[in-house]
Structure 1
């Protein structure tokens, strides 16, 4: 029998298990399953084959369990193996432990299935409208049974959803990662100044001074959006907005209608630029390139369909 200071794993001492713990005193599931197989088959060799180990390994595991419990469990003879009286009693207890473990495993599988059957994504507007559709289409090819819900909002709203456990994975466009979130860059984007063709800026022969852009009322996204954050930081401040809108589509429509200049993602205005419904206005001495990031709650790396979606964005 092992001493109180000798902590054992399935086949001998295991220094990682604290002496005196339940794991030290109770055989592991593999040993209990082996004992149940011996009781059912009446042969150590047949039991070893059933659980997928060699007969010497099975003998070693039974001896280790006997030392751990301090009683003989199996009598071995040329005619086979039979349980001792103590072994029969331990086998009855082992059966209940294994049944409880099977119930535990079934419950864990149900939890994984429930997790894998849905995916809640929160994304800032540009990513939600122009990048996520392609990513989600690719995810559907991999996981056709996963139901995906998409919550679109500004970058601040995405962070709130994640921190409130209302989303499994998020995507943001701002300069910084919101507090409480981990992130990885998945794409890059360029903000550009656009106007309707009839606006005076559309006919400029040289780049617009950054100071003039900062002093001009613009059609802007609301505070909290990644686009507004990047523009404000690049210019060191903005004039009071001409119009403040809560979606990229609304800002773009206003600019096309001639309401005034706007600053939008290059991703969002490709069609309008190609058809000349909008004109790009070069700006002098400022950089409006930004990183697009996947974000999740700090310390909780995405799993299941969220992990697969994240992988697709980085492919």
Structure 2
């Protein structure tokens, strides 16, 4: 069961600094707080975890085995918080934008934060980023309208009037709640069984939905998707609906890694159906090419994909 109160980021940061510097005194200096505040944050974490995390001695402070484990988890949370802050700053900073970026939902949620961190820290004069998140079709239309400098889309339908570069490939998987009958089946689904089942899907224009439609369309004979069980605007909403056991869905493998690890969703094999799509950078074709900052973000995306 998920706790209603999220972990305190300052306490997690304090534990990480104590682990790095080896003393509460050094941690208090580095964080700019009193040693009493450092001790209080560590105690709060110890109460939350039910385990001693730090042992204190004349030689300094050392993490216990439990402390080392929690510090490792804390790093993941702190890294995610940093990615969140960078991404939110890109959404918020509209007034002096030097780079206008459009990104479809899966890329924006699972890849773009890391790219933006590299973009902002990799230059002596970081540019402000104006990030708009929309489905692939909307990103393409914004580029054509001149509202974006570069876009990142997930649809296989890459328009020929735009310049494009494939960044990576993304696998889509069929997922169900752990109590759904499909979660216990040993035999792979057929493409026909999947197509005849009412799924939870994104709206038209979504790259995920279009990839599934095209994959079924290439089969012989062609298979048409049944009417959806629900049409939802975000991957998060789809994941929650699927986890409740109401209906299956097809989602990006990027979006459901934690759900598998935590046992919220189960993956279902499908025979004879390839669900793989390109993740593509797109921009308007012109004589001057990409703006310098857009070129730099594209390079970062390509590097991280490799």
Report the Cα distance in structure 2 between the residues aligned to 1:249 and 1:148, rounded to whole angstroms.
24
SS state of the match for residue 287, structure 1? coil
Would the aligned equivalents of 1:189 and 1:289 in 2 still touch at CA under 8 Å? Answer: yes
Aligned residue runs from structure 1 range 1-315, under 5 A: 118-143=98-123, 145-236=126-217, 237-299=224-286, 301-315=289-303
CA separation in 1, counterparts of 2:119 and 2:186? 46
Task: Report if the CA contact (8 A) 2:100-2:129 is conserved.
Answer: yes
> Which consecutive unaligned segments of at least 5 residues does structure 1 have?
1-115
**CA–CA separation in structure 2 for the residues paired with 1:117 and 1:173:** 24
Partners of 1:295 and 1:234 lie apart in 2 by 22
Q: Is the 8 A contact 1:196 1:255 kept in 2?
A: yes
| 1:9-68 per-position Cα deviation (integer Å, ceiling 9, x unaligned) | xxxxxxxxxxxxxxxxxxxxxxxxxxxxxxxxxxxxxxxxxxxxxxxxxxxxxxxxxxxx
Cα distance, 1:256 vs structure 2:
1.5
Runs of 4+ in 1 over 3 A off after TM superposition: none
Distance 1:205 1:117, change over 3 A: closer
CA contact (8 A) 1:122 1:158 kept: yes
Pairwise CA distance, 1:257:
2.1
Query: SS in structure 2 opposite 1:267?
Result: coil
User: What is the deviation of 1:117?
Assistant: 5.7
Aligned pairs, number: 200
CA distance in 2, matches of 1:248, 1:194: 12
* Distance in 2, Cα, partners of 1:150 & 1:117: 9
| C-alpha RMSD of matched pairs (Å) | 1.4
Confirm or deny: 8 A CA contact 1:193 1:282 kept in the other structure: yes
- Name the TM-score, length of structure 2 as normaliser: 0.63
Structure 1: distance between partners of 2:270 and 2:105: 24
Q: CA deviation at 1:149?
A: 1.5
Q: Are the counterparts in 2 of residues 117 and 145 from structure 1 also a CA contact under 8 Å?
A: no
